[in-house]
Amino acid sequence: MRTRTLGRTDVEVTELSYGAAGIGNLYRPVTDEEAAAAIDAAWDAGIRTFDTAPHYGLGLSERRLGEALRDRPRDTYTVSTKVGRLLVPADGDGDGDDLANGFAVPATLRRVWDFSADGVRRSLEASLDRLGLDRVDIVLLHDPDDHAEQALDEAYPALERLRGEGVVGAIGVGMNQSALPARFLRETDIDVVLLAGRYTLLEQEGLTELLPEAAVRGRSVLIGGVLNSGLLTDPAPGATYDYAPAPESVLDRARRLKAVTERHGVPLRAAALHFPLGHPAVASVLTGARSTDEVRDTVEQLRAPVPATLWDELRAEGLLAPDVPVPSPVEGAPSPKEPS
C-alpha cells in the first residue's frame, strides 16, 4: 500500500488509515478478540497507520490498539492519538454506560475538556500509558470548536514544544468542520489536519478554504468520514448523515451519486473512498472498522479501479464542480511494493 509523508515531517502514513473508534465499542460492544482480529486484518492488508483517541470508549480504543500492536516493530507503523479531553473518575459509583456519548462501555470515567498546556501533557502521558508506547507519531487537538482561543494560545504551543523535544513527530488538529482548522493552518505551524465528513463525494466544504490553504503551505490533510455516517454505503430510507437521519435533499443527492457510479460498474462506497485522494494535499483516507470483514471490504473497494469516465459523468450531472480535483485512473491500484 502506498505511503505519503505528512507536510514537512518525516512521518509517513499509508493512503488508507485504520480508525479505531469502532474497537472502542462505538454504538455497540466489540470483544477483545474481534478488535485484535480487525487490526490483524488491517495489518495483513498493508495498513500501517492507526488513529485513536481517549474519547473512543473512555480509553478502551487506545488500550486495545496498543495491545494489538505490542509485538510489532515500533518503527514499522504510525500511531495517531488526540488531546483535549482528560479522562477522570466518574462521580458517584460509576454505574451506567457511556452510550449518551456513543460508546457501549461502563461509565466509570468521565471526560473533562482541557486545552491547557498542562492538560495536553497529562492527556498525552495517559494515552502513552494506555497504548503501552513511549511515543506516538501524531498528536491532534480533538474538537476544539468551543475552545478555539485556549487551543491556539495554550494547547498548540505545548504540542509545538513536544514536537521540538522529539516526543511526537507531527502535530495538528482533528475536527468535523473546516473553518477553524483553516485558521490553525494560517496562524500556527501545524503539520496536519484530520477533517471528518467535510470533504467527501457528497460534499466538498473543505475545498473552499482548508484544502487550498494546506496545499499552498505544504501541509497535509487526513480525510475521515468519507462515507458521511454510512450514507454513501447505502442511501436508503432511514440512512444517517452527520449521525442523524438524512434530510430528503441529501438522500436524493446520494441516490443520484449511486446511480452514476453503478452505471460504471463501481460501488458507491468505492468511489467515495477513492475521491478524496485526488486532492494533492490529502495524504490518507481514514476509515473505521470493527471486524475483519469490514477491513477486507474497505481495502477491496480502495483497490478496485475507478474509470475517469465516472468522474466525467458526475461533473456532467452537476454532482461535482468542474474544478474539483479527482483521482487519476490509477488511484487505488495495488502498489507493487507492500510494507513488510
| DSSP secondary structure code for residue 70 in this structure | T
The CA distance from 268 to 271, in Å, is: 5
Angstrom CA distances, 95 to 60, 113, 160, stand at: 17, 22, 39
**Contact of 146 with 115, CB cutoff 8 Å:** no
The answer to whether 23 and 63 are in contact (CB under 8 A) is no
Smallest CA-to-CA distance from 177 within 152, 156, 215, 146 is with 146
Of 56, 77, 156, 199, the catalytic one is 56
C-alpha cell at 328: 487519476
**56 catalytic per annotation:** yes
Residue owning grid cell 523535544: 165
| C-alpha to C-alpha distance for 168 and 118, rounded to whole angstroms | 16
C-beta neighbour count of 246 within 10 angstroms = 23
Residues annotated as part of the active site: 56
